Amino acid sequence: MTKGHEIYHARHAKKLELLLLNGAIRQLDFDCGSILFRYIQQVPGDVEVEMIILFLKHGLKVNTLNKHGQTLLTVAVSLLQDWCLKGMQPKDMATVSNILAKAQSLFELLVDAGADPNGGVTSSRNDYFTPSASTDPPPSSPLGSLLMQTHPVAQVPYFLRFSLDRGAEPRATDGKARTPLHDQAECIVELLARGASADVNMPDYKGWTPLALACGATRDAALKWKRDPVSIARRVEIIKILVHSGADVGAKDITGRDALDWAVYWGLPELEGCLLSFGA
């Protein structure tokens, strides 16, 4: 945020507080959809934390939904996710750490105020679900939104443990029928330890299981791994953990492919060998 933006938000925060104190803004939970959410439009920082504290002090119900069916926790998570995906991270790691610390503070503030870690969520990018007055949000959670394709710089393990410790459902599904285990196999040990094992063979909307996704069912992931030996080695470990946790190496998707087919298709011999050792 530039200095100009900081001044702009600070002035509006003071003006808004005066309006709240004088009762000029009524039906707070309705008005916040058009007022508070305007201020939460970037990766959470000091201004965003201050604004939410202000509204909570004046009676905001923390699980209020905006017009897209999102709670404040969902919006904060989605903004962090977008920040990670769009490559907007500064190269200075001290700045990155500071931003993540602010995000942690905001998440903790919201959950401590009663935010539902499994409450109404859609992706901020609306890439698979567009809410309307006649539809309900898909049965997902801020945890699933956070884990979906999140850049490693987001310190996913911290947010994962924080969410699970506060009651997030490790088996919640999103609009594509994917669980956190589908979206972030990097956190597989933690997820399985918290009860995600019941979904180890659960297919998503394309019939892909967590094992299939770990073996390159998605093109972008497969091409990225081919350029990174460390990622390939990590995939092998993930496959072993999934199989030992009950993953079916022969499970087929809607195209009739199984995990081995995907590994062969993308030319990932290390994954092929691992799958064959388990009887694929």
Token pair belonging to 172 = 């919640």
CA dist 75 → 82, 123, 138, 233, 267 (Å): 10, 8, 16, 34, 38
3-state helix, strand, coil in the chain (%, to 5): 55, 0, 45
Q: Report the alpha-carbon distance of residue 223 to residue 102 in Å, rounded.
A: 33
Can you tell me whether residue 122 is helix, strand or coil?
coil
pLDDT digits (tens, 9 = 90+) for 161-213: 777 777 777 666 666 666 666 655 556 666 666 665 556 788 888 888 888 88
- CA nearest 142: which of 157, 164, 127, 158? 164
- CA nearest 247: which of 218, 212, 271, 216? 212
Compute the Cα dihedral for 170, 174, 178, 183 and give only its sign: negative
Token pair belonging to 159 = 């947010």
Token pair belonging to 91 = 């190269």
Which residues, at least 6 apart from 233, have a Cβ–Cβ distance to it below 8 Å?
Answer: 270
Domains 3-177 and 200-280 share a fold: yes
Q: Supply the pTM of this predicted model.
A: 0.53
Q: Specify the CATH number of the domain 200-280.
A: 1.25.40.20
Per-residue confidence in pLDDT tens, the chain, 280 aa:
444 444 445 556 666 565 555 554 444 444 444 445 555 555 556 666 777 777 777 777 778 776 667 777 777 776 666 665 555 555 666 776 777 777 777 778 888 888 887 765 444 333 333 333 333 334 345 665 555 444 444 455 666 677 777 777 766 666 666 666 665 555 666 666 666 555 678 888 888 888 888 887 766 666 666 667 777 887 888 888 889 888 899 999 999 999 999 989 888 888 999 999 998 7
The owner of tokens 């909570």 is 56
Token pair belonging to 86 = 């769009």
* Torsion of the alpha carbons at 236, 251, 244 and 266, rounded to the nearest 10: 0
- As to burial, measured by CB atoms within 10 angstroms (0-12 exposed, 13-18 middle, 19+ buried), residue 46 is middle
Can you tell me whether residue 187 is helix, strand or coil?
helix
- CA nearest 70: which of 58, 82, 59? 82
Q: Does residue 107 contact residue 73 with C-beta atoms inside 8 Å?
A: yes
Sorted by where each begins, the domain ranges of the chain are 3-177, 200-280
Q: Does residue 180 contact residue 196 with C-beta atoms inside 8 Å?
A: yes
Q: Report the alpha-carbon distance of residue 155 to residue 98 in Å, rounded.
A: 12
Q: Does residue 146 contact residue 187 with C-beta atoms inside 8 Å?
A: no
Give CATH superfamily name and number for 3-177: Ankyrin repeat-containing domain (1.25.40.20)
Amino acid residing at 190: E
